[in-house]
Amino acid sequence: MRNLSMLIDFYELTMANSYYHHHKNEEAVFDLFFRSVPDDGGYAVMAGLEQAIQYIQELKFDEKDIDYLRTKKLFDEGFLTYLLNFKFSCDVSAIKEGTPIFPNEPVMVVRGPIIECQLVETMLLLTINHQSLIATKTSRIVYAAKGRSVLEFGSRRAQGYDAANFGARAAYIAGVIGSANTMTDRDFKIPALGTMAHSFIQSFDNEYDAFLAYAKTYPDSTVLLVDTYSTIHSGLPNAIRVYNDYLKPMGKTLKGIRIDSGDLTYLSKKAREMLDAAGLAETKITVSNSLDEYLITNLVQQGAQIDAFGVGERLITSKSDSVFGGVYKLAALKDNGAMIPKMKLSDNVVKTTNPGVKKLYRLFDQSSNKAIADVVTLDTEVINENEPYLLFDPNFPWKQKLVSDFRAVSLLEPIFKKGKLVYQKPSLEEIRSYHKEQMSTLWDEVKRFENPHPYYVDLSRKLWQLKQDLIEKYAKNS
Amino acid sequence: MRNLSMLIDFYELTMANSYYHHHKNEEAVFDLFFRSVPDDGGYAVMAGLEQAIQYIQELKFDEKDIDYLRTKKLFDEGFLTYLLNFKFSCDVSAIKEGTPIFPNEPVMVVRGPIIECQLVETMLLLTINHQSLIATKTSRIVYAAKGRSVLEFGSRRAQGYDAANFGARAAYIAGVIGSANTMTDRDFKIPALGTMAHSFIQSFDNEYDAFLAYAKTYPDSTVLLVDTYSTIHSGLPNAIRVYNDYLKPMGKTLKGIRIDSGDLTYLSKKAREMLDAAGLAETKITVSNSLDEYLITNLVQQGAQIDAFGVGERLITSKSDSVFGGVYKLAALKDNGAMIPKMKLSDNVVKTTNPGVKKLYRLFDQSSNKAIADVVTLDTEVINENEPYLLFDPNFPWKQKLVSDFRAVSLLEPIFKKGKLVYQKPSLEEIRSYHKEQMSTLWDEVKRFENPHPYYVDLSRKLWQLKQDLIEKYAKNS
């Protein structure tokens, strides 16, 4: 168990200490949400909840932490004792991992004493932001591959060890079939994948000898890297020779080849022809080399003969947009026994937060099973599936749509109640299947890369009115 | 101690097992180098060596690893026993952390039994790639700030926990004055920085009360976030009121303010005026909000009155270019007692590697102390400082330059000899000072962001000739 309690922005501790100093520890509600989808995409994918849960369950401030904090000469001894005895007592609800998520809806809600809410901010954001970033990117790459396999190959370019491990986990949720990172096979049962590097081939006198040696070690799973010298003139002929000389006589086949450079469309088509002509119609062609959803889309459109895409640095760092901008904002605070909605007003209207204690519903059309819209409501509201529901755009309230014949699913699952875990954590395989199933509820128009159709995240009439009232109130006071 | 032995690309294990299977474990030389600088910059910064050393020192395959590997039904029992008894016995040399580094020069060299060289590939690349990425990005940001302070604020958007911790470490090497991440203060003595979030202010009845409460807790280090409602009309007047009402009578001052939104140039100038008029000429102005080297350059050019820049997501993920493309290539292999140079030929000439066992020199001009060029030589060569040296461009060998009056510094330091650490690890403060000093040896033309002058990385005449000979030999054989 790693003690990550000090992985916390220092201001969380100075604020907490000041709250403590002023005997201020009212019940608060914080919403974790994000404002825009990476890569200007139409949807994001929730991930990281399991690690966020683990963090909360293991959170404690040990003597070493307290001794260290004391050296800062900023913290009240009473506060340090409070930390030493810290026990998380908040309610937490969150959207399940693998669910498509959208801007400006709460994906996690923490409710409890404000000091506790504040102390978990950094790690909750860090955990959810990272894995949701990678799950979102991967979901796009898998979508681009149109049913072909995607393999996660990025460890060596990941931003640190956790990025390699938890990044592979997020990628698996979003549909890769395995990872080159052995640790995630051992720890998460994500299938480990991989064959050979160019150095293996170079270490033999010639390519044929290298291929033969590899085939002898792995006759049941021979996958050969064919581009060290020349894919067409050397790699493929040698791979086919090894099949004919060694594998075929043993009743084995050549399982696959990998091409890591050159014109992947041309080379894969040519490789397919050569393999088919050699009686190797079942041999799989894997390609790699700085791939992402855009390049894969092009390869597929050009009719490249590719069975699997090995994707590295552009997935594991989400290179085209390496930040998932989750934020954690105060939504309500208890005052004299009443929960008072709070809102952060901003000159930038999209940065104005949604106040109050809220619920989140996703409406699915009963006949198509497609998601129609998400609706954020006050905590006290219930959406009745048996009555038509009037959706309206919170920014353009005259744009309205009456929907009926829908299922309304409440998305925020209870995770902790008074600090106690009440959530039955699904397995990684369950999360992965659930993600796949949920992706089928989104229209292709929402999933496309260029100018995706904006999915509706609406506010209930009551929440919208509350927000307007608060805006007016703040405007008057400023 | 975390066991990261399974954070390894699966193919390293399958290759190693195949080598073992074929009784093949000759002495090899692998070079770690990169081919291009992120953001099309003129230089990169070496970082991560200390963690790479730690990895090697702690590397072992325990029973749990072996039991897991056995389940894959791919590995020879002899190989698994070899892993269980694994002891790293290679020589490792590397460029010191904090050193400016350039494309196509070895920044780390591993020499020893090929199985061992192969088994450490993934983690060495991962470690050096990540920290060098962040150090490089930070160095640019610090350069843009032209002497103003830069603060690392990115934990919540980092790509995992290690990215927050080791990213802050790399940022500190490259010149930030501290980090919001408390863990790096505790573990690396990187000063923890931070004040308050908007939620702190919102949790009070009004901004003045919030500021006053914070000042009462931290009278000696009151830094106030002034943009929750309106920087000019509310935040600054309230901050000044708290100074006049509370801090000044106590003989204290207002240490700083932070602005996190809006037009930072305009607001900082206005804030400076208001603070100066209130007798607060010493109060520091910090700004934050999606900053990077480009925005900071603009702010500085516009005469913004800023003392410190808080930089978050764009530093900690190197957002504009999130990949450091270090690679690890076979350079030589022993055959019948002789070290045979190896080279990976490529259709893409820049991807052709430099063969053989090599040394790396940096030549400094004696009078200006500026770096003139790096020269990669054969291991057997010595550059004599007392004689003029003929530099030539390896791609355009007729472009030549005779240099004299230079210091020649060998950049690859011995780190491990036969698996034993022989390197005296510098402290983080020493690395940081060394980086600052080394940066002064680069011309501004190399450091600028737009079309930087390409720094020369030349080959010695002998190495160049070896490379030409090998290219010809491979060309004949293919």
For the segment B188-241, what is each residue's pLDDT rounded down to a tens digit?
999 999 889 999 999 999 999 999 999 999 999 999 999 999 999 999 999 999
Residues of B in contact with A159 (CB under 8 A): 130, 133-134, 158-160, 162-163, 167, 317, 322
More confident residue, A69 or B344: A69
Both structure tokens of B360: 């790396």
pLDDT digits 0-9 by tens, A330-345: 999 999 999 999 998 7
Residues of B in contact with A207 (CB under 8 A): none
CB proximity B252 to A under 8 Å: no
Q: Which of B:167-206 have CB within 8 Å of A?
A: 167, 180-183, 185-187, 192-200, 202-203
Q: Which residue of chain B is at minimal alpha-carbon distance from A233?
A: B478
Q: Which of A:7-46 have CB within 8 Å of B?
A: 7-15, 17-19, 21-22, 24, 26, 28, 30
Of the candidates B316, B346, B364, which is a domain's last residue?
A: B316
- Which parts of chain A have pLDDT scores under 50? none
Residues of B in contact with A177 (CB under 8 A): none
Domain count, chain B: 2
Q: Which residue of chain A is at minimal alpha-carbon distance from B5?
A: A183
Q: Which of A26, A126, A197 sits opposite B164 (nearest CB)?
A: A126
Contact status, residue B134 vs residue B128, Cβ threshold 8 Å: no
CB proximity B216 to A under 8 Å: yes
In a domain, B129, yes or no: yes
| Residue A246 and residue A362 in one domain | no
Q: Which of A186, A325, A329 sits opposite B68 (nearest CB)?
A: A186
Contact status, residue B180 vs residue B151, Cβ threshold 8 Å: yes
Cα–chain center distance at B141: 13
Q: Which residue of chain B is at minimal alpha-carbon distance from A289?
A: B325
CB proximity A144 to B under 8 Å: no
| Residue A93 and residue A18 in one domain | yes
- pLDDT value of position A38: 98
CB proximity B155 to A under 8 Å: yes
Which residues are A459's β-sheet partners? A376
- pLDDT value of position A477: 67
Question: Is the per-residue pLDDT at B477 higher than 70?
Answer: no
Q: What does the alpha-carbon distance between residue A291 and residue B163 come to, in Å, rounded to a whole number?
A: 23
Q: Do B345 and A217 touch (CB under 8 A)?
A: no
Return the sign of the alpha-carbon dihedral for residues B343, A216, A232, A262: negative
Contact status, residue B189 vs residue B224, Cβ threshold 8 Å: no
Residues of B in contact with A202 (CB under 8 A): 330, 333, 342, 344
CB proximity A473 to B under 8 Å: no
- How many angstroms separate the CA of residue A384 from the nearest CA in chain B? 34
CB proximity B370 to A under 8 Å: no
Of the candidates B270, B299, B316, which is a domain's last residue?
A: B316
| Residue A81 and residue A49 in one domain | yes
Q: What is the mean pLDDT of residues B250-277?
A: 97
Return the sign of the alpha-carbon dihedral for residues B381, B384, B385, B388: negative
Backbone angles phi, psi at A183, to 5 degrees: -60, -35
Domain with A384 in it: what CATH number?
3.20.140.10
Residue B15: domain span:
10-134+322-477
- How many angstroms separate the CA of residue B46 from the nearest CA in chain A? 15
Q: Which residue of chain A is at minimal alpha-carbon distance from B351?
A: A261
- How many angstroms separate the CA of residue B452 from the nearest CA in chain A? 23
Cα angle A133, B169, A122 (rounded to 5 degrees) comes to 45
Residues of B in contact with A15 (CB under 8 A): 196-197, 199-200
- pLDDT value of position B1: 67
ipTM of this complex: 0.97
- pLDDT value of position A397: 86
| Residue A398 and residue A363 in one domain | yes
Q: What does the alpha-carbon distance between residue B441 and residue B430 come to, in Å, rounded to a whole number?
A: 17
Closest CA to B30 of B111, B104, B86, B101: B111
| Residue B186 and residue B304 in one domain | yes
Q: Do A24 and B203 touch (CB under 8 A)?
A: yes
| Residue A235 and residue A186 in one domain | yes
Q: Do A202 and B344 touch (CB under 8 A)?
A: yes
- pLDDT value of position A347: 64
Q: Do A182 and B13 touch (CB under 8 A)?
A: yes
Both structure tokens of A230: 């020349």
pLDDT digits 0-9 by tens, A39-94: 999 999 999 999 999 999 999 999 999 999 999 999 999 999 999 999 999 999 99
pLDDT digits 0-9 by tens, B357-403: 999 999 999 999 999 999 999 999 999 999 999 999 888 888 999 99
Q: Do B126 and A158 touch (CB under 8 A)?
A: yes
In a domain, A155, yes or no: yes
- pLDDT value of position A1: 67
Residues of B in contact with A221 (CB under 8 A): 74
In a domain, B19, yes or no: yes
Q: What does the alpha-carbon distance between residue B409 and residue B404 come to, in Å, rounded to a whole number?
A: 14
Q: Do A330 and B165 touch (CB under 8 A)?
A: no
Q: Do B196 and A15 touch (CB under 8 A)?
A: yes
Of the candidates B266, B295, B316, which is a domain's last residue?
A: B316
| Residue B348 and residue B409 in one domain | yes
In a domain, A81, yes or no: yes
Residues of B in contact with A25 (CB under 8 A): none
- pLDDT value of position A478: 56
- pLDDT value of position A2: 87
Cα angle A130, A107, A415 (rounded to 5 degrees) comes to 100
Cα–chain center distance at B302: 29
| Residue B378 and residue B266 in one domain | no
Q: Which of A:258-297 have CB within 8 Å of B?
A: 261-262
| Residue A356 and residue A305 in one domain | no
| Residue B339 and residue B394 in one domain | yes
Per the prediction, chain B carries an average pLDDT of 96
- pLDDT value of position A474: 79
Of all residues in chain B, what percent carry a pLDDT higher than 90?
A: 94
Q: What does the alpha-carbon distance between residue B266 and residue A200 come to, in Å, rounded to a whole number?
A: 59
In a domain, A281, yes or no: yes
Q: Which residue of chain B is at minimal alpha-carbon distance from A327?
A: B156
In a domain, B117, yes or no: yes
Contact status, residue B41 vs residue B132, Cβ threshold 8 Å: no
Phi-psi region of A210 (alpha: psi -120 to 50; beta: other; left: phi over 0): alpha
Cα–chain center distance at B298: 24
Domain with A224 in it: what CATH number?
3.20.20.70
Question: Is the per-residue pLDDT at B478 higher than 60?
Answer: no
Of all residues in chain B, what percent carry a pLDDT higher than 70?
A: 99
Contact status, residue B34 vs residue B103, Cβ threshold 8 Å: yes
Alpha-carbon separation of residue B275 from B234, B238, B250 (angstroms)? 14, 11, 18
- pLDDT value of position A394: 87
Q: Do A10 and B181 touch (CB under 8 A)?
A: yes
Q: Do B21 and A156 touch (CB under 8 A)?
A: no
Q: Which of B:295-314 have CB within 8 Å of A?
A: 313-314
Q: Do B156 and A345 touch (CB under 8 A)?
A: no
User: Which residue has 């510098």 as its token pair?
Assistant: B426
| Residue B243 and residue B218 in one domain | yes
Question: Is the per-residue pLDDT at B345 higher than 90?
Answer: no
Query: If you count residue pairs, one on A and one on B, with CB atoms under 8 Å apart, how many are there?
Result: 308
Q: Which of A2, A158, A180 sits opposite B11 (nearest CB)?
A: A180
In a domain, B407, yes or no: yes
CB proximity A330 to B under 8 Å: yes
Q: Do B126 and A157 touch (CB under 8 A)?
A: yes
Residues of A in contact with B339 (CB under 8 A): none
User: Which residues touch A415 (CB under 8 Å, ≥6 apart)?
Assistant: A49, A53, A92, A93, A94, A421, A422, A423
In a domain, A5, yes or no: no
| Residue B172 and residue B312 in one domain | yes
